[in-house]
Chain A
Amino acid sequence: MKIVVTVKQIPDPNAPQKLTSDNRLDRGGEAVLDPGDEYGVEAGLKLKEAHGGEVVLVSMGPAKAADAIRKGLSMGADRAIHVSDDSLAGADALLTAQILAAAIKPENPDLVICGTESTDGSTGMVPPMLAELLGMPQATFAKQVEVKGDKVSVHRQTNEGYEVVEAQAPALVTVTAGVGEPRYASLKGIMAARSKEVKKVELSALGIEKGSPAESVEGVADAETRKAGEVIEDDGNAAERILAFLVQVKAV
């Protein structure tokens, strides 16, 4: 089976995040493969080990995103497609999904795996948009992915437990950390990645005209600081007051 995993390079989430003057994330510092995407790569590699086939990484990003792609190849993915075009800087979720769809479509994959959301933008909108554009059913928040014949079956994580959701392949799934700890890129894998194919694709080759973004960031403000909580001293009815509070905030 052919599995496409979308991957993205993001600013190191362990470093302080900065904005540029036009309210975009400053991508000049240390950058890493999105940890959420590492779970996607891990899920793809596990399925390949079980069923054979190949894992193809697809990424949209500047030239230096090649480092993140190489990390995924070092973990064991077979090859990669890297859409890189200067005009794509600041692309919103819709444009990103359109680009990824155009790059993925010619591959005719059986399965597309995404993280649930990027760790930097965190919109969570790209995977559902991508599924629609590819005309695939989507199964989201999977903590386990199985392929049985032409069906994709996932355990969809919920607050209470999980649902078993089945979809007809080709399908798109988004995966959570539940799929298992991403493997190390072994040193052997790192050296083998050197000779794996990374196909560079420019915007014009995808037949997409860049329109004006569907959304733009108009302003940025600090989040309100948390106010001090209420201290309940026990004068005999503290338990009832705490219960009343919990009911009021719908915690129970």
Chain B
Amino acid sequence: MAKTAPRTELKPSDFLDLESQLHDEERLIRDTVRKFVHDRILPGIEKWFEEGTFPKEVAPELGRLGLLGMHLQGYGCLGASATSYGLACLELEAGDSGFRSFVSVQGSLAMFPIWKYGTEEQKQEWLPRMAAGEAIGCFGLTEPDAGSDPASMRTSARRAGADWVLNGNKLWITNGGIADVAVVWARADDGVRGFLVPKGTPGFSTRDIHRKLSLRASITSELILEDVRLPEAALLPGVTGMRGPLSCLNEARYGILWGTVGAARSCFEAALGYSKSRSQFGKPLASFQLTQEKLVNMLLELNKAALVALHLGRMKDEGRISSEQVSFGKLNNVRVALDIARSARTILGANGITLEYPVIRHMNNLESVLTYEGTSEIHTLVLGEAITGVQAYR
């Protein structure tokens, strides 16, 4: 007679049984996004990555599923909890960081400022279509010469009668070339202000950045603003100063600290599976002590990162998360994911450098994730300031 199995089997990717801490609804949302990624993203991702394209036709599917602006309330948005949004980011990024980036930019960087700082007319005009994936948004903050120090931006907004005139360049803008509306941050007399710049506005053009070796299944562009004349109705009236764009970034970073757990999980599972099937010296790679050490190090870091994500998710849902705690999660989880990807690559040997396996694709993507939405250096200094009281970057 077969022995009764232990009540909870140990699962490599959920070793601490975080599953048991999720509500029914959260599990269903996670499973649904996982199935969508399996059915719609994984079959095409190698091709999209290799060709350097984002399949724009997937956007309405993401919208129908409810993934765009899913943590916002009203205007066709889902109104899900922060934890559910995080779980969705995790599953998307287990597919590819490019898709999680698309969803982060659309929801947290483009829809969030309209939802938070926009007029009723702006919300009505853009949010329902953006939630449905019928209109795509992008977020213009970074400039060629203003990265970690965005307050040094040169893009200007000056009054011209009742209108505004914008001039400047924005660089490294995800979704830029495919966006129907750009949220552009520009320096006005009274400080940094946000503007909604629709595609096709005279003087506004975009140029996609090619020859990238990371986030290839995602569009990255330059926004060019030459005497772009906008009515007062284009201004986001609800915020003045750097607090505006920084609050959006805080939302997006929250998605990243979950998403990277997905990328890491994908690499770990690929390496674990490969180590058991690939034989050298007459025995599976998994039977070598060096391989086991790598796998166990991945196991520890992956599961700790998931614990950090879930804990910060619960704190955000309780409305008591600080931006420094988000920095903690972003810094730690991107770092861990990149380490896991690199270690997984060594287990896969030469196979690890091909697109047949997800590992080097995640690894290359994570190089961008390490840098965008606050570089690892800046998040380190944010945490350094939090514990010492000394600002090291000014």
Say whether A associates with B: yes
A residues with a Cβ closer than 8 A to B are 18-21, 26, 28-29, 66-67, 70-71, 74, 184-188, 190-191, 193-194
Total of A-B residue pairs, C-beta within 8 Å = 56
Q: In the complex, A188→B84 CA distance in Å?
A: 12
B28 A190 Cβ-Cβ under 8 A: yes
**Which of the residues A20, A28, A185 comes within 8 Å of B28, measured between beta carbons?**
A185
B80 to chain A, nearest CB (A): 6
Q: 5 closest Cβ contacts across the A-B interface?
A: A187-B66, A188-B66, A190-B28, A187-B78, A186-B66
Q: How far is the CA of A190 from the CA of B29 in the complex (A)?
A: 7
Say yes or no: A20 contacts B32, CB within 8 Å.
no
New A-B pairs, 19, CB < 8 Å, besides A18-B2, A74-B32, A187-B70: A19-B2, A21-B4, A26-B4, A67-B28, A70-B28, A184-B32, A184-B36, A184-B65, A186-B32, A186-B64, A186-B65, A187-B65, A187-B66, A187-B80, A187-B88, A190-B32, A191-B78, A191-B79, A194-B25
Chain B residues with a Cβ closer than 8 Å to the other chain, count:
25
Minimum Cβ distance to chain A for residue B210 (Å): 34
Collect the chain B residues with CB atoms within 8 Å of residue A20's CB: 4
Q: With A29-B9, A67-B24 in contact, do A191 and B80 touch (Cβ < 8 Å)? A: yes
CB distance from B127 to the nearest CB of A (A): 15
Question: A188–B9 Cα gap in the complex (Å)?
Answer: 32
Q: How far is the CA of A186 from the CA of B61 in the complex (A)?
A: 10
Give A187 to B9 CA distance when docked, in angstroms.
29
Q: Does B394 contact A (CB under 8 A)?
A: no
Q: What are the residues of chain A within 8 A of B9 when measuring CB–CB? A: 29
B7 touches A191 (CB 8 A): no
B347 contacts across to A, CB distance below 8 A:
none
Q: Does B35 contact A (CB under 8 A)?
A: yes
**Can you spell out 21 A-B residue pairs with CB atoms less than 8 angstroms apart?**
A18-B2, A18-B5, A19-B2, A29-B5, A29-B9, A67-B24, A67-B27, A67-B28, A70-B28, A185-B32, A186-B64, A187-B29, A187-B32, A187-B65, A187-B67, A187-B70, A187-B80, A190-B28, A190-B29, A191-B78, A193-B28
- List of B residues within 8 angstroms of A66 by Cβ: 24
Interface residue from B1, B7, B28, B84 paired with A74 (Cβ < 8 Å): B28
Distance between B273 CB and nearest chain A CB, rounded to angstroms: 15
Using CB atoms and an 8 Å cutoff, list the residues of chain B in contact with chain A. 1-2, 4-5, 7, 9, 24-25, 27-29, 32-33, 35-36, 64-67, 70, 78-80, 84, 88
Query: Which residues of chain A are near B67, meaning CB under 8 Å?
Result: 187
Residues of B within 8 A of A70 (CB): 24-25, 28
Cβ contacts under 8 Å, B1 to chain A: 21
Bound-state CA distance A116–B178 (Å) is 47
With a cutoff of 8 Å between Cβ atoms, the chain A residues found around residue B66 in the complex are 186-188
| A194 neighbours in B (Cβ, 8 Å) | 25
Q: Which residue of A lies closest to B76 (CB)?
A: A188
* A21 / chain B contacts, CB cutoff of 8 Å: 1, 4
Bound CA–CA A74/B66 (angstroms): 13
**Roughly how many angstroms separate A75 CA and B376 CA in the complex, as a whole number?**
41
Residues of chain B contacted by A187 (CB below 8 angstroms): 29, 32-33, 65-67, 70, 78, 80, 84, 88
How far, in whole Å, are A71 and B24 apart by their CA atoms in the complex?
10
Q: Give complex CA distance A29, B24 in Å.
A: 16
Contact B35 A184 (CB under 8 A): yes
A71 proximity list for chain B (CB < 8 A): 28
Quote the shortest CB–CB distance from B77 to chain A (angstroms).
Answer: 10
Which residues of chain B are near A26, meaning CB under 8 Å? 4-5
Nearest-Cβ distance from residue B29 to partner chain A, whole angstroms: 6
CB-based contact B25/A191 at 8 Å: yes
Closest to A21 in B: B1
A188–B65 Cα distance when bound, in Å, is 7
Task: Return the chain B residue nearest A23 by Cβ.
Answer: B1
Q: Please state if B4 and A190 are interface contacts (CB–CB under 8 Å).
A: no
**A165 vs B235: C-alpha distance when bound (angstroms):** 64
Residue on A with the closest CB to B40?
A184
Across the interface, which residues of A come within 8 angstroms of B7, CB to CB? 28
Report yes or no: A190 in contact with B25, Cβ–Cβ below 8 A: yes
CA–CA, A20 and B27, complex, Å: 27
Residue of A with least CB distance to B7: A28
Chain A min CB distance to B85 (Å): 10
Q: How far is the CB of A9 from chain B (nearest CB, A)?
A: 13
CA distance A185 to B30 in the complex (A): 11
The minimal Cβ–Cβ distance linking A192 to chain B, given in whole angstroms, is: 10
On chain A, the residues within 8 Å of B2 by CB distance are: 18-19
In the docked arrangement, what's the CA distance between A21 and B5, Å? 12
Chain B residues in 8 Å Cβ range of A67: 24, 27-28
CB of B75 to closest CB in A, whole Å:
13
> Could you tell me the distance between the alpha carbons of A194 and B81 in the complex, rounded to whole angstroms?
14
**Chain B residues whose CB sits within 8 angstroms of the CB of A191 once the complex forms:** 25, 78-80
Of A29, A186, A194, most B-chain CB atoms within 10 Å: A186
Tell me the complex Cα distance, A197–B7, Å. 31
- A194 to B9: give the CA distance in the assembly, Å: 29
In the docked arrangement, what's the CA distance between A67 and B35, Å?
17
- Closest B residue to A15 using CB positions: B9
Kindly state the separation between the CA atoms of A191 and B77 in the bound complex, as whole angstroms.
12
Q: How far is the CA of A26 from the CA of B84 in the complex (A)?
A: 30
CA distance A29 to B28 in the complex (A): 17
